[in-house]
Chain A
């Protein structure tokens, strides 16, 4: 009994004050051979190759400029049948950068996430994660290499408890076999207690210790979103992809989420790449922003640049009245051309191609 009491106390008195504990622990965990072939840890302080320095076109915050990028995407594209959903997508994301991906509905943002995590196999282009090409990897390999994601529509393990949801994410660091699992050997007990402690640590960081025994599917919405982020973090990623983390949240919850995301970055020292429609969140925390429309990048840069970029405003709010009149005129001329009334078309910016 005394032993049990000690264990319970140990669970309650987890110290979460030390910053970046998971990040520190990661090195030894990754070197462990028995954790299901996880990638060997690459030192993040590694100098970026001086032969290929960042140029001005790469939007990376100053603090990350001396390190290799966590994610490099070159000319990424995917076709569904004859439809080009995404084309020529390029991105460089710094080691500890919070990057944003915005664009109107149906622009292809989630498709890009699905390509990064290999839910879809890209038709063109290359993805370099942590300096290595992800060609030939599947979703499982991608996660093992250190990329974790959340989903636009929450995907939790509904019938498992909150604690179990995190324990599942700690699966690869849990070190026992099927026989141990079936017979509950001392090794099982030891490892289970260790990961329980680790799961509680995550719950404590996010202030959700009280929800530990409840079914994940029965939690309030905001708690479910938070749990999904926690679960992704528990796989000890180097890059966290968040798909609309603030969807369905009220303004005060969104502000809270901004703090949370910033704290995650500072504590775990990881890169974060997020899709979001809430401009206050994107402009508030993102360091670099990519704007997507009809599967193509229409702008790239710092938040201030994006806010004043006419192309972005056009994509979101539509064309201004003057421009629309101009285009109508152009259409009239084209119609006339087809009918053969006019001999030559006036020079100007060509219209958007059909079918885009």
Chain B
């Protein structure tokens, strides 16, 4: 039986069949870009070719890369649109800052403090993701996007009225600005003013480690039992249920892991500045991260890395046009969408790319064509 079927498939042809995702290749490219970019930037910095402003953007670039990669887990791999990513980043940032201040009272070894703070940030963000995810993951498409947007804003506004501070060496918190007996210097988080007096611990190397960790987790998850379940639910929900996959469980899993990674990135972001205002984590930041994901290609990990890097460096280099930044993003987003869905433009683009393809393949095709032509003659 098997032989006959094989013959049939050969007749039916695998000509139009497309090879699937090569996980090893994807991982190699991603890691190479990250490490190569790190080495390149370090060399350029040492040579004095990088301006002071841009040097200050190194950690944010790493943070944005991790955010883009983690959002890709929801948008690309799970296939749901989430607009609340900045919310999870905020949870991670402020809980991480809080943890670092607590730890600083008893410890002085910075790397340990940083790691513990980041893990705490990830934990709190994943708890937030879990609490938000349970009620909303029954929703799909636009509705999910709207609800995540709202939750992102709720988290930010919650941060606006949150007060943390030390009173006689003990941690106190309140939802208004009257914490009794609190000194200005002992404040950690002061509502809309945000976190002040944070000891900055983040560095470019930590940023690289964060990026590597995020890419490692997301790529590994993609090529595992859980990742396959998440992707198969994205491809066909009903078929997924029919082979016994719990749809909500796996959607929630993608959402929570993504939130945890965003929280971790947010924590590094928070520990990069001595003061941090909650307004930083508004809707624009969520859209910014989404732009990275879409521009890099939905589901494409290394594309997101490149997009995040370019879209952070370019505005910095063209600072004089800063007013047009959001406008440019919108135009780029629209152009990309038109370019990828318009068949006419797509075919022209393909023709253009075909010119740059390696010559070997073309030659092979020509030889084959000539041969077959001769045979026919």
Q: Which residues of A contact B (CB under 8 A)?
A: 36, 117, 119, 138-140, 143-144, 148-149, 151, 155-162, 164-165, 167-169, 171-172, 174, 176, 178, 180-184, 188, 191-192, 204-208, 210-211, 213-215, 218-223, 226, 231-232, 234-235, 253, 256, 259-260, 263
Contact = CB atoms under 8 A, between A and B. Distances in A.
A19 to B, nearest CB: 13
Q: Which 5 A-B pairs have the closest CB atoms?
A: A207-B2, A161-B20, A181-B224, A220-B12, A143-B244
Q: Which of B17, B234, B244 has the most CB of A within 10 A?
A: B244
A249 to B, nearest CB: 10
A159 B243 contact: no
Chain B contact-residue range equals 35 or more
Given A160-B231, A164-B228, A184-B220, A139 B239 contact: no
A188 B229 CA distance: 15
Contacts of A221: 12
A194 to B, nearest CB: 12
Nearest to A183: B220
B239 A256 contact: no
Contacts of B21: 159, 161
Given A160-B20, A215-B18, A226 B238 contact: no
Contact of B241 (A139, A169, A172, A178): A139
Interface string B161-183: 00000000000000000000000
A223 B12 contact: yes
B227 A208 contact: no
B226 interface: yes
A260 B5 CA distance: 10
Nearest to A253: B8
B236 interface: yes
B5 A226 contact: yes
A216 to B, nearest CB: 8
Contacts of A151: 238-239, 242
A119 B240 CA distance: 12
A256 B217 contact: no
A123 to B, nearest CB: 21
Nearest to A257: B5
A171 B229 contact: yes
A155 B237 CA distance: 9
A182 B243 CA distance: 23
B259 to A, nearest CB: 14
Interface of B: 1-6, 8-9, 12-14, 16-21, 217, 220-221, 224-229, 231-232, 234-236, 238-246, 253, 257
Contacts of B242: 117, 139, 143, 148-149, 151, 155, 232
Contact of B9 (A140, A218, A220): A220
Contact of B225 (A138, A171, A218, A260): A171
Given A168-B245, A213-B20, A214-B17, A158 B2 contact: no
Given A168-B245, A235-B243, A208 B220 contact: no
Contact of A211 (B9, B232, B239): B9
Given A157-B236, A162-B20, A178-B253, 7 more contacts: A156-B235, A160-B228, A160-B235, A161-B19, A161-B21, A181-B225, A218-B17
Contacts of B229: 168, 171
Contacts of B246: 140
A208 B225 contact: no
14 contacts: A149-B242, A151-B242, A155-B239, A159-B20, A168-B243, A182-B221, A205-B2, A207-B6, A211-B14, A211-B17, A214-B14, A219-B14, A220-B16, A259-B1
Contacts of A162: 20
B232 A157 contact: yes
Q: Which of B12, B13, B17 has the most CB of A within 10 A?
A: B17
Contacts of B236: 155-158
Contacts of B6: 207-208, 210
A204 B8 contact: no
B244 to A, nearest CB: 4
B66 to A, nearest CB: 15
Contacts of A174: 225
Given A143-B243, A156-B239, A157-B239, A182 B3 contact: no
A238 to B, nearest CB: 14
Nearest to A172: B244
Contacts of B253: 178
A181 B232 contact: no
Nearest to A252: B8
B17 A215 contact: yes
Given A168-B232, A178-B226, A207-B1, A215 B243 contact: no
Contact of A213 (B19, B228, B235, B239): B19
B228 A144 contact: no
A84 B212 CA distance: 58
Nearest to B231: A160
Contacts of A208: 5-6, 9
Contact of A160 (B17, B217, B232, B238): B232
Nearest to B299: A159
B244 A206 contact: no
Given A160-B232, A168-B228, A222 B9 contact: yes
A188 B224 contact: yes
A214 B224 contact: no
A85 B295 CA distance: 48
B231 A159 contact: yes
Given A167-B228, A184-B220, A218-B18, A158 B243 contact: no
Contacts of B13: 220
A139 B16 CA distance: 34
